[in-house]
Chain A
Amino acid sequence: MAAGKSYSPDLRLNRRAMLKGAAGATALAALGSTFPMPATAQETTWTLANSMRSVANPYHATFAKGGADFAKTIGAKYETLVTEGNSEKGIADIKALLQRTGGKLILNVDPNDSPDARVIVEEVKKAGGFVVTQWNKPDDLHPWDFDPNYVAHMSFDGVPTAEAIANALFAAFGGEGGIVALGGILSNVPAIERKLGLDNAIAKTNGKVKLLDFQPADWNEQKAFDITQAWITRFGDEVKGVFAANDGMGMGALEALRQNGLAGKVPVVGIDGIDAAVKAIEAGEFAGTVAWDPLWTGGMGLAIPYAHVTGKIDITKEPKEHREFYGTGIIVTKDTVADYKNNPPKTDFADLWGKSTGQIQYRS
């Protein structure tokens, strides 16, 4: 889902060292190293936990690491829970942990599915723990309705992000001409937001940039490849740039361009900040991507409730934009890529809302 390498050097080195040292079976052992170990020194009676789909994707692996990093700074016990895409398992694990800790649990959870958030919040409130949710929750579920236990909800806003990256694309071909766009699964909220952001950017060019065609490629690289090939036939050199709603599809489009001798000539943009996209920016084939900051969400989802339980803040007195807020996506382009790689985003756990970019909006 998002960048891994620049955020989690430790994790990456372990795996790479493992793969270099031995092949096959021992590589399986490397997986174990991605599970953060509970810290041994305990200076607080609260247990901290991050819950997410799996640690087998760079975004969530880094999210888990963010939690472990914060726990280390306060010497707290830390656990990683994985749902493996199973809502029941996710909720059962959380209930078990609430039981085991006697409710003294601070939970930072990326719910497997939106409806899960309500169940989790209710369980945590009943047990007297504290919870922060990420990305997925029903629109009518709000932290302030479960004071003080439902501390906050964090997400990223796809609209301004997509608009910014679309502008980077336009700039890369001189701001005038036709583009084609690859969307995600039509019913996904991020897909809808990113399309809206693209439409906004196009509207603001006053007709200078024209959307030749929009096709959903369902976040799929192969589909993006085949659609881009068809576009080359249909539009030929009318296509001045390719917008992809995520980097995976962007890579598919880039390879289709390469097969036709157009890589580097027709710029591509994506979203997520995966490593391959960052490399493609350096090679001059991608015009940009947006990097999320899972190290920050992973740690801050624990740091804010911890500030509340230790009396540094009273979450019930915080304004709504501190209870439901967007994080910062980092726009990476050819001008900023070197800086981005040399100075990966830093997280200051004391600066609770420093990277917040406003209160969450409900567009539906």
Chain B
Amino acid sequence: MRSVAINGNALAQWRKWAPLAVLLALCILISLFNSNFLTLGNFIRLLNSASIPLILGMGATFIILMGSIDLSVEGIVALTAVIASLLVANDITPYTIGLLAVPIAVITGGAMGLLNGVLHVKLRTPSFMTTLGVGFAGVGIAMAVLGGDTVRISDQTFRFLSLGRIGGIPMAVWIAAASVAIAYVIQERTRLGRWLYAIGTDEMTARHAGIPIERTRIVIFTVAGLFYGLGGVLSAAQFGQGHALISQGRLFTTITAVVVGGTALSGGVGSVLNSVIGVLIVVVLANGLVLMGIEPYVQQGVQGLLIITAVALALDRSRLDVVK
């Protein structure tokens, strides 16, 4: 019995580091194929590609830690990107409020998240369906406002949020780093952070312990919405335009990154730092497949295989009675 327990502990220890090991192994493998991978230029490009997924991943991690799921990522990103584009100097509306558009778009994201939380908690609907609905509504509103059109941004100060560089590092990367720091502080240093782990681990126990479950859920969904709103702002700044389909594909990458990083979909296990590793795995993999010159036809298969491997290595199954 005793030795089993020790083995179990060792395994748990290894699991904690598994995502990082996968990331390092990937980096070594890719650099063997193409030495350009390890250049400073590529490193910056990688971080640049990772910046928006990182910000979205912070929000999604909180939701998943709580044992819920958030499928509204693309809807909120699309709507906030369109709102931001219409408020800065652009070719459709006369508004030119510049960087003031940032808080407005971020708060809109928060409001959408609040809506997610309130509907989910008050109507007692599964977060899966609620957030799917709110996400559709977001894309729908963005589409209705623009009618399938694209709004082009001419505000260079706004575009500086993506194109500008400080110390050679793109602004988007700095903003993503700040988001990670904020998310980490929320997770580690606030009651909210402790509560969301408690809810994700065992909601009944958390309820008996007097944790305000409903309020926490609503607040967390709102916080996630704020992160998505910021992601929307950066998407608009990155492409210099806003349209309803700007976020296409973001949801899948975000959830994949969170899970690959080792945060369990069942809740209670994981961390925003895991998601940082998860995002880097996904981004490095996409970059590496092109650098290694893997046939496009084979790429998706390789991607799927590596994701399953990463999850299989990282997931702690000790608390799972059944695997769903």
Which of A20, A57, A220 is close to B93, meaning CB atoms less than 8 Å apart?
A20
Decide: A4 near B239, CB < 8 A? Known: A20-B94, A186-B297: no
Summarize B's interface: helix, strand, loop or mixed. Answer: helix
B56, chain A: closest CB distance, angstroms: 12
Decide: A226 near B287, CB < 8 A? Known: A221-B239, A260-B45: yes
B240, chain A: closest CB distance, angstroms: 7
A233 touches B152 (CB 8 A): no
B296 — which chain A residues lie within 8 A by C-beta? 183, 186, 214-216
B147 touches A31 (CB 8 A): yes
User: Which of the 9-residue segments B33-41, B124-132, B183-191, B219-227 touches chain A?
Assistant: B33-41
Which of A27, A61, A232, A274 is close to B45, meaning CB atoms less than 8 Å apart?
A232
CB neighbors of A among B67-117 (8 A): 86, 92-94
A223: CB under 8 A from chain B? Answer: yes
Per-residue A-contact encoding for B23-64, CB less than 8 Å = 1, 0 else = 000000000001011010110010011000000000000000
Which of B37, B94, B238, B286 is close to A233, meaning CB atoms less than 8 Å apart?
B37
A237, chain B: closest CB distance, angstroms: 12
B286 touches A230 (CB 8 A): yes
A282: CB under 8 A from chain B? Answer: no
Which of A58, A231, A232 is close to B148, meaning CB atoms less than 8 Å apart?
A58
B93 — which chain A residues lie within 8 A by C-beta? 19-20, 23
A215 touches B290 (CB 8 A): yes
A251 touches B239 (CB 8 A): yes
CA distance A252 to B49 in the complex (A): 12
A56 touches B143 (CB 8 A): yes
B15: CB under 8 A from chain A? Answer: no
B246: CB under 8 A from chain A? Answer: yes
**Category for how many chain A residues contact B:** 35 or more
A204: CB under 8 A from chain B? Answer: no
B119 — which chain A residues lie within 8 A by C-beta? none
Q: Name the residue on B nearest A60 (C-beta).
A: B148
Q: A: which residues have CB within 8 A of B?
A: 4, 12, 15-16, 19-20, 23-24, 27-28, 30-31, 34, 54-58, 60-61, 183, 186, 213-216, 218, 220-223, 225-227, 229-234, 236, 251-252, 255, 258-260, 274-276, 279
- 13 more contacts with CB within 8 A, not counting A215-B290, A251-B241, A252-B239, are A4-B148, A4-B149, A15-B147, A27-B145, A28-B144, A54-B148, A56-B143, A57-B148, A186-B297, A214-B296, A227-B286, A236-B36, A259-B162
Q: B: which residues have CB within 8 A of A?
A: 34, 36-37, 39, 41-42, 45, 48-49, 86, 92-94, 143-145, 147-150, 152, 162-163, 170, 238-241, 244-246, 248-250, 283, 286-287, 290-291, 293, 296-297
Query: Could you list 15 A-B pairs, sorted by A, with CB under 8 Å?
Result: A16-B92, A55-B148, A61-B148, A183-B296, A186-B296, A215-B296, A220-B248, A226-B283, A232-B45, A233-B291, A234-B293, A251-B241, A259-B170, A260-B45, A276-B152
